[in-house]
A and B are shown apart, each in its own frame.
Chain A
Amino acid sequence: MEQPAPADPVWLLDGLRNGDENAFEALVSRYQQPVYNLVYRLMEDPSDACDVVQEVFLKVFRNVGTFRGSSSLKTWIYRIAVNEAHNHRRWFQRHRKREIGLEAEEEGSRCYQDVLSDPGRSPFDLAVGTETRAMVEQALTEVSEVFRPAIILRDMEDMSYEEVAEILQVSIGTVKSRILRGREALRRTLTGRLEPETSVRFKPQVVE
Chain B
Amino acid sequence: MAFSLAFLSPKPCTRLSRLLSAYVDGVLPNADRREVSVHIRECNRCKEQYEQLEQARSLVKRLPSRTPPAHLSARLQSLAAAESARRRAEMGKVNPVRFAWQAVQVRMENLMRPLAIPFAGGMVSAMVLFSMLVPTYPVAAARTVLEDVPTALYQEPTVKSVAPFAFADQEFLVEVTIDDQGQVIDYTLPQGTESEELKREIENTLLFARFTPALAFGQPTAGKVRLSFRRSFIDVKG
Contacts and interface: CB of A to CB of B under 8 A. Distances in A.
Interface of A: 1, 18-21, 23-25, 27-28, 32-34, 36-37, 40-41, 49-50, 53-54, 57-58, 61-62, 65, 106, 109, 111, 114-115, 118, 120-122, 124-125, 128, 132-133, 136-137, 140, 151-152, 154-156, 158, 161, 176, 179-180, 183-184, 186-187, 190-191, 194, 199, 201, 203, 205, 207-208
A21 B52 contact: no
B22 interface: yes
Nearest to B21: A180
A38 to B, nearest CB: 9
A109 B73 CA distance: 14
7 contacts: A19-B89, A111-B66, A187-B52, A187-B53, A194-B55, A205-B44, A207-B2
B64 A124 contact: yes
A53 B81 contact: no
Interface residues of B, number: 47
Q: Would you list the 5 A-B pairs with minimal beta carbon distance, nearest first? A: A19-B87, A19-B88, A24-B80, A61-B83, A180-B21
Contacts, number: 157
Contact of A155 (B52, B61, B71, B76): B61
A113 to B, nearest CB: 9
A114 B69 contact: yes
B69 A18 contact: no
B64 A121 contact: yes
